[in-house]
Amino acid sequence: MKRVAFKMQLLPEYAEEYQKRHDAIWPELVELLHQSGISDYYIFHDPDTHELFATYELADNHKADKLAQEPVMKKWWAYMKDIMETHEDDSPVSKSLEEVFAMK
């Protein structure tokens, strides 16, 4: 199991909408993430900077590198593109973070 952390940028006026959309996350997207080997997925919001900080655990036999080709993932990105920074393919602009400390 590998821990992954990254950050994304929410557009300032959309914190409430971002929360609303995730409160009603599509079951088929959750299932796809699980099937891809992703678990314990958390997203945090910094209301001062509107940065989103996300973490999840990735199974050793994961298929997360194929998510960008999945129709449900593409549909979710298109749904979210109006409230956060995205690339031309609608995927969120994200910056990977390096783990420097872990306490178990």
- Domains in the chain, please, with CATH? 2-96 (3.30.70.100)
Active site residue 45: no
**Which residue in 22, 34, 62, 87 is the catalytic one?**
22
Prediction pTM value: 0.93
Residue 104: pLDDT over 90: no
For residue 34, is pLDDT > 90? Answer: yes
Q: Give me the DSSP letters along 49-72.
A: T-EEEEEEEE-TT--GGGGGG-HH
d(CA 28, CA 52): 23
Query: What is the DSSP secondary structure assignment for residue 25, as one 8-state letter?
Result: -
Inform me whether the pLDDT recorded for 74 exceeds 90.
yes
Residue with tokens 């909408």: 17
- What does the pLDDT read at residue 77? 98
Mean pLDDT, rounded, of the chain = 97
Residue 86 pLDDT? 98
pLDDT tens-digit series, residues 38-64? 999 999 999 999 999 999 999 999 999
**What is the model's pLDDT at position 88?**
97
